[in-house]
Structure 1
């Protein structure tokens, strides 16, 4: 993100990176913290709330506690999954494939990109209106008077492809299609008419995964007293998702702010003006430096053995600076770690920076480890031989980490780098 900003002509000192759910949290706080608001209690000092940012691709969740001075403290590391609104779109396309045929839909989506986009735009509009009063729905004329329908416009190119595969349908203004479960879908001219319950079923998988994950979070001892849920993001505008969450957490206060789909955008502006509103975060990963340690043949694999200056070392060791789930106060220096040169004539020392998805990684080559960058500190004076090294420390500021290396013999010789704080 920072590289993209630099390419766009934005200097580092003019760029602040905001985490999406945090930005949304600030927007909600600004919108709902008026004393006269019925939701004011959600933002009283020492109150705790869960924010669910249900976007198109992902659902991101954070939990905040309001401090006495109005700032926010994170109670649980940012988390979530790919259960956003586009997962419903995928379910819709699979459903169409099941009634039209995989070959028809594949050819349509491959050759008719514009029409595919038009179809999905219409579905997106209807997706947000299901269960609301203004949905484009009708009444069944011959049997069940209470059946509701969802009408979706179908591009002419899709009907042409279908009729090419099924010539008997070519001259018919309307015909019925059968779903795998035996239900009927009417195709009338340029419209498909679905029973509303068929479209609602497309939400089931996404809603279940979101709610199950929220239940797991509320079972944690540190989150059991969270009393409010804030629902934001484009997918949060879906009445189906709203009703599912309200129904699943009837003992919680579920708050859906005005312009929920714009909460991240508007909150990012607020964060830019007051980036210090978030004063404490929970580390989503373990952070550290790749280093060499004395080789111990009883615990270290032979493949990791290297020899420096006649001494056996174990390479790629993950030296932990910050562990996953640790609470990090913004701007607070973490514990310094000392590192030494490996050779007496070494003229620089390099510190590869890593993060890991596990709490106690042993080696930086393990699955889940990711290289974030490196620091290189010049040490041209080799007169002290092996008696040279540097102290390295990390500072978590805002949404980024500043890693600094200081020459142990000359504190004026330093090198720093800023890397993304991945939650």
Structure 2
């Protein structure tokens, strides 16, 4: 409580005030207080020790401002203090109570508040003390321990680095000592030879000055013998230069020591894989399944192996680089045969994809860990963390299997023993081998499991599913046999052109296509042009009298010129250089993929250079934008034909079309070459399929070049083979004679 300061008496102005009178509002000394108590008018006033008076009480008016009389009552209606005269005037009729009663109630309330305040004050005091002592001590101790651990780890890391550095420095020092010794030894040998040659040189020069012929003759004879005994001039080995420091090895040594000391693993993570939750769930290894399938030999020799009316047909298209799957239910097929569900595998970057790379990651026991782009990303993490030794990783392995299988069969023929289960393929790092049939089994299992996770497996059994695998037409019988062994009983293995033809058959009937465009008329010949990735398959068929098909010719061309984005990649390389682009690909593989896909998307909507002023925009990563600004000069052939703006390359339509020229030319020339074969010169139809054939400018070029042939452009060209495979699954007997017309 704030107290009144020590002051003189307000009456006598001489002695120190001891008492305060509330009614008089004065401080009185002891003498004046005695006089104050004797006067009748003041002897009933309330006085107290002046030192205990709250200074704030002095500001309150203690008498009624209307009548200048002391407050004696409290008006409950007006909630204020009043004097005796107010009772009969201003507050007449109000509820009145004595001031003593009101003050007593107020004192009780104050006492309760005081207890609460005391408790709060006690709590605050305890908190302050706790924060000043315990909390502060804990804070200081924790920080000190953290700093101590940081210093300890820092010292440990420093010692580890210094120890590895010392090993390398010792190696350098030992190398220098040894090579110096070798160098000094060689110098000593050279000095010895030099002395010998110098000595005989001086003596030859001396005898040449001898005028006496006999003496000269004997001396030169003697010197000639010495000369013949001289050793050839030694050619010492060049001093070895110390090999450049292998920084990655040194860093790995440091990392290994750190891992050993702290029992941890250091991984260098890249951007996360953008697959859907459904796919990520499908990629997880499962210990038990209600629909386990067994791998058996499917070398179909009897029509009885195939059954009609399966509830579900599942199609898997295996390509050189990518694969995909699709399915349909029997009831949906009967309503619309072309209504096929294409399985999507999430997205990579910002693009949805229905096909994923043929890459697979297995653990040490051969269990599936990941598939597609997810497998490539996970293996990269394991590789960066040096934890890849116990896994089996195969990157787009279907590219090489057909050629490897042919070589395997040739080797087996030489020894007279052929067992397909002995055919193995090497892992990506070329250090381990794995049976091809079991690898393909894991491959097919992934797709079937993925489809079965899309439907209610509680009421679907494997006997209700017909599996159809479609493959490139140039894969031989042995490759089909290998896939059959890896698949389940009753699996159909067909080729992409066959599946495309079947899909077109149903699609043409569904859309009531002009009968003149029906392929399946006797003696008609047609060609299926299937182009995706870096390969183009050309297969020609002839329809026989019984409506069956005879394959006339089948060829395949593999070339990087067939890759849609290859021209754009070369365009980028021509500006920034091969080294810069290679470094960009290593450090920013995701950005490269997104950039090339961005170009591919633009290409799929590009209608040709109808207007050269139209600009085509392709997104490029920031890294390449900076390189463009540094590398591009006015002498570059492209400098006037494009510009960078808002993170995109803006180029005129002529330049954009020129980047697709190689693809268009390669496809058209391939078709031209096969049409030169006598048996197929009178081909009347060309069916286009595959991702590359979706290019509008390519289809336009095909129509311009082959005006005498009907060019059939199936909707969704890249999906035609998959849809045909699913249709075939609902009519499996057709695979025996290919009588598509009679379905």
**TM-score bin, normalised by smaller chain:** 0.5 to 0.7
Distance, in Å, in 2 between the alignment partners of 1:19 and 1:177 is: 51
Q: Identify unmatched segments of 5+ residues in structure 1.
A: 138-144, 167-174, 282-423
- Work out the CA distance in 2 between the residues paired with 1:245 and 1:84: 20
CA contact (8 A) 2:605 2:696 kept: yes
In structure 1, what is the equivalent of residue 590 of structure 2?
Answer: 114
SS at structure 1 position matched to 2:724: helix
Going from structure 1 to structure 2, the CA distance change for 1:21 and 1:179 (only over 3 Å counts) comes to farther
Task: Describe the superposition over 1:168-217 as per-residue Cα deviations: whole angstroms up to 9, x where unpaired.
Answer: xxxxxxx9876436643111130111111112112222222222222222
Q: 1:200 to 1:261 in 2, by over 3 A?
A: same
- CA distance in structure 1 between the partners assigned to 2:693 and 2:634 by the alignment: 32
Larger RCO (CA within 8 A; separation ≥ 6) = 1
* Deviation (angstroms), 1:34: 5.5
Task: Deviation per CA, 1:35-87: give whole Å up to 9, x if none.
Answer: 931264333233211110111221111111223444322121x2121258852
Out of 489, 498, 504, the residue aligned to residue 22 of structure 1 is 498
Q: Does 1:55 align with 2:532?
A: yes
2:689 counterpart residue number: 232
Structure 2, unpaired ranges of 5+: 1-317, 319-436, 446-485, 739-743
TM-score w.r.t. length of structure 2: 0.33
SS in 1 for 2:527: strand
Match of 1:37 in 2: 513
Q: Residue 99 of structure 1: CA displacement?
A: 2.1
Distance in 1 separating the partners of 2:527 and 2:487: 34
Mapped partners of 2:540, 2:732: distance in 1: 18
More strand by share: 1
1:272-309 Cα shifts (integer Å, max 9, x gaps)? 3445545679xxxxxxxxxxxxxxxxxxxxxxxxxxxx
Report the equivalent of 1:154: 620
Larger Rg: 2
- Tell me what 1:193 maps to: 650
Question: 1:19: Cα distance to partner?
Answer: 1.7
The verdict on how the C-alpha distance between 1:195 and 1:178 changes in structure 2, with shifts beyond 3 A counting, is farther
In the alignment, is the contact (CA less than 8 A) between 1:232 and 1:263 conserved in 2?
yes
Note the 1:8-407 alignment, pairs <5 A: 11-33=487-509, 36-38=512-514, 40-76=517-553, 78-83=554-559, 87-131=563-607, 147-162=613-628, 165=630, 179-180=636-637, 183-277=640-734
- Match of 1:197, SS? helix
C-alpha displacement at 1:248, in angstroms? 0.8
Structure 1 residues 280, 3: closer, same or farther in 2, change over 3 A? farther
Q: Which residue is equivalent to 1:348?
A: none
Question: Shift of residue 237 of structure 1?
Answer: 0.9
Give the SS at the match of 2:441: helix
Deviation of 1:5 (Å): 4.6
Preserved contact between residue 54 and residue 84 of structure 1 (Cα < 8 Å)? no
What SS does structure 2 have at the residue aligned with 1:88? coil
Q: Distance in 1 between matches of 2:628 and 2:511?
A: 59
Partner of 1:315: none
Contact 1:46 1:66 in 2 (8 A): yes
Match of 1:358 in 2: none
Q: CA RMSD in A?
A: 3.1
Shift of 1:223: 1.0
Give 1:251 deviation, angstroms: 0.7
Aligned length: 262
Within 2, Cα distance between the matches of 1:204 and 1:279? Answer: 41
Query: Structure 2 vs 1, CA of residues 11 and 100 (structure 1 numbering), >3 Å: closer, same or farther?
Result: closer
Q: Taking structure 1 as reference, are residues 11 and 235 closer, same or farther at Cα in structure 2, changes over 3 Å only?
A: closer
**Of residues 441, 446, 454 in structure 2, which corresponds to 1:6?**
441
In 1, Cα distance between the equivalents of 2:558 and 2:703? 21
Work out whether residues 228 and 255 of structure 1, in 8 Å CA contact, stay in contact via their aligned partners in 2. Answer: yes
Kept in 2, the 8 Å contact 1:129–1:238? The answer is: yes
The answer for the alignment partner of 2:301 in structure 1 is none
Distance 1:177 1:20 in 2: 48
Q: In structure 1, the residue corresponding to 2:538 is in which secondary structure? A: strand
Aligned CA distance change for structure 1 residues 84 and 272 (closer, same or farther; 3 Å): farther
- For the Cα contact (< 8 Å) 1:44–1:66, is it kept in 2? yes
Higher deviation after alignment, 91-100 or 17-26: 17-26
Distance across 2 between alignment mates of 1:56 and 1:63: 21
Contact 1:98/1:180 (8 A) holds in 2 = no
Change (3 A) 1:62 1:14: same
What is the distance in 1 between the residues matched to 2:723 and 2:560? 20
Instruction: Describe the shift of the 1:273–1:235 C-alpha distance in structure 2 as closer, same or farther (beyond 3 A).
Output: same
1:43 is paired with a residue whose SS is: coil
